[in-house]
Amino acid sequence: MESELLSVDMSQRTFADLTAELTAFVSGRGDGLASVFVPHATAGIAIMETGSGSEADLEEAVGRLLPRDDRWRHSHGSPGHGADHVLPAFISPTATIPVMGGELQLGTWQSIVFVDTNRDNPQRKVRFSFIGG
């Protein structure tokens, strides 16, 4: 298995499109599986369309589903931080994408998006892995 750890600054943003970085990582590697994993208890990976308003729609949906208020038992950190810890139950911290001929086999409008609502820790890591087949 080949692997690489990326640093991602999530200051002032909830979403980071990682498609270009993952595309570069798998380029020239042949056929196999690419894995994207965020080793954090408050973040996830979404495969979704970007640039069409979908990010704002997802942010609004997450806000309705996981409001940032005082209802959470996990209550340290910024107000509503408990919601951040529930997010990975809905947006998985990992995704696996087939690779053929060194190219991600994503649909036309699909992108790999890091989703992180946690404002307490903006410096994040993402692990890309490739298993050849």
CB atoms within 10 A of CB 108: 5
Average pLDDT, the chain: 95
Each residue's pLDDT tens digit, 12-47: 999 999 999 999 999 999 999 999 999 999 999 999
Q: What number is the average pLDDT over the span 42-54?
A: 95
pLDDT at 65 over 90: yes
Residue 101 DSSP one-character state: T
Residue 56 identity (one-letter amino acid): A
Q: What confidence category does residue 74 fall into, taking pLDDT thresholds of 50, 70 and 90?
A: confident
Task: For residue 39, give the CATH number of its domain.
Answer: 2.60.120.460
Length of the chain equals: 133
Contact assessment for residue 93 and residue 43, using Cβ atoms and an 8 Å cutoff: yes
When divided into structural domains, the chain yields a total of 1
Query: What is the predicted pLDDT for the residue at 55?
Result: 93
Which residues constitute the domain of residue 25?
Answer: 2-132
Instruction: List the structure tokens of 63.
Output: 């806000």
In the chain the first and final C-alpha atoms are separated, in Å, by 10
Q: How far apart are CA 87 and CA 58, in angstroms?
A: 12
CA atoms within 13 A on the CB side of 110: 12
Each residue's pLDDT tens digit, 91-105: 999 999 999 999 999
